[in-house]
Amino acid sequence: MTSPAVSGPEGIRESIDRGDKVVEIRLQAENAAKLAKILEAQRQGHDVAVVESAKEYTTTKAAKLLGISRAHLSRLIHEGKVRAHKVGTHHRITAREIESQQTMKKYRENPDAQKLAELWDEMGIDD
């Protein structure tokens, strides 16, 4: 017997906790589009991480996520190449900024991706 479609995180967790092998989920179109992007990226073999865009990280954690040293990250912050704000005497970097830096790093390291991004810009395509 199939359980009815659930909505919201609580309903999803309850269905999983019950041991349902299949979980039908009702999503708003906007959330369904986001989920489709995640599933497509996984299907293509990409690693996928979901983070709260409002979340903030210390320079130590942000540097680890970016694969660089904390000292190098601090230098980038002071040069204005990475956006950060201060909490007391310590810098904090938002998850959105980390994601932006990871994307830029990917484009710098992959000439084909950079060419594709430039082509999209020329054509007015917004991914």
pLDDT per position as a tens digit, 9-55 = 888 889 899 999 998 998 899 989 989 999 998 898 887 877 666 78
Residues of the domain holding 80: 56-123
Largest pairwise CA distance in the chain: 60
Q: Which residues of 49-78 are buried (b: 16+ CB within 10 A; e: fewer)?
A: eeeeeeebbebeebbebbebeeeebeebbe
Global pTM value: 0.50
> Considering its fold, how many domains does the chain have in total?
2
Same domain (yes/no): 62, 116: yes
Is residue 51 one of the residues assigned to a domain? no
pLDDT at 2 over 70: no
Is residue 1 one of the residues assigned to a domain? no
Residues 6+ apart with CB under 8 A from 23: 3, 6, 12, 15, 16
Q: What is the CATH number of the domain that holds 111?
A: 1.10.1660
